[in-house]
Amino acid sequence: MFKKINFNIGFVIILILLLATFFASFISSSDPYQIELSKGLAKPEWGHPFGFDKLGRDILSRTLEGAKISLFVGFSVVIISVIIGTFVGTLAGYLGGLPDEIIMRITDIFLAFPGILLAIGLMSVLKPSVFNIIIALSAFGWVGYARLVRSQILSLKERDFVVAAVAQGATHKRIFKNHLLTNIVSSLIIEASFGVAGNILAEAGLSFLGLGIQAPYASWGSMIAEGRNFLLVAPHLTLYPGLLIAFTVMGLNLMGDGIRDFLDPNQ
């Protein structure tokens, strides 16, 4: 019962966020990039419930603009990582032997370094942009999916239904599509739901450090970085972007827990 409630709460949070980004122009008519210095650091008021930043830009419209970037990065990195990780993990687990050893040692090299540090290193070389952030996070994001898929494939290929398919002369493509992929897709969905949350946090961290989304474009991480110098006089500059990050990650994690419990055959 509580698990279903948690999933519903997470689903509602993400649904509200998606609807807010889609209807951002109706929620806030202010231009997120319009500068009005006379309202710099102004507190929330009617029509501008989140207040203004140091340049007099509406924080509500900028947080909604930042939500589009965060969600786009989060889902894009997961899609790319799942595709690469599934291919690599399937190749390693299905072939076994020397190919498996070579592929797994390469993944171990990636796992030897914290992912965020690799992303920081790549972003310090690449030009800061949304596209490059996706590349930097995808460069190591596939590793976890590859190891997950490999472990699943190693177990599944020994099952009777796969052995029977091989004995009947089924092609490798048919075996992967009909017998392997269908049995690992639930695990991938669960892992991906948590991966989106992690990628949103990573993007916010890179933008906070100045290696992500650059001004004047809005990002939750860069908004927090800009507002940290005004915490005592204008705490709303960091409060609302921080809350949106927290609620988004919490919603995705609650959804992930709910999906995991729903797909778990032991529940």
What are the extents of the domains in the chain? 2-20+54-263
Q: Region 25-36: what's the mean pLDDT? A: 85
pLDDT grade for 1, boundaries at 50, 70 and 90 = low
Map tokens 């949350």 to a residue.
Answer: 197
Specify whether the CB–CB gap between 57 and 35 falls below 8 A: yes
Say if residue 63's pLDDT is above 70: yes
- What are the φ/ψ torsions at residue 45 (nearest 5 degrees)? -145, 175
Say if residue 210's pLDDT is above 70: yes
Q: 3-class DSSP state for residue 34?
A: coil
Sign of CA dihedral 228, 229, 231, 235: negative
For the stretch 159-196, pLDDT in tens is 878 778 878 877 777 887 777 888 888 888 888 988 99
For the stretch 88-107, pLDDT in tens is 998 898 888 888 899 989 89
For the stretch 139-160, pLDDT in tens is 889 999 999 999 888 888 878 7
pLDDT grade for 261, boundaries at 50, 70 and 90 = confident
Question: How far apart are the C-alpha atoms of 184 and 189, rounded to whole Å?
Answer: 9
Q: Region 118-122: what's the mean pLDDT? A: 86
Crossing angle of helices 181-208 and 220-227, in 10° steps, is: 30
Q: What percentage of the chain has pLDDT greater than the value 90?
A: 35
Question: How far apart are the C-alpha atoms of 232 and 176, rounded to whole Å?
Answer: 58
CA-CA distances (angstroms) from residue 96 to 154, 174, 237, 240? 8, 19, 53, 50
pLDDT grade for 30, boundaries at 50, 70 and 90 = confident
| pLDDT for res 267 | 54
Give the CATH fold of the 2-20+54-263 domain.
MetI-like fold (1.10.3720)
| pLDDT for res 3 | 59
Calculate the average pLDDT of the chain: 87
Token pair for 112? 């030897």
Question: How far apart are the C-alpha atoms of 149 and 184, rounded to whole Å?
Answer: 7
Question: How far apart are the C-alpha atoms of 84 and 65, rounded to whole Å?
Answer: 29
> Between 266 and 101, where is the model more confident?
101
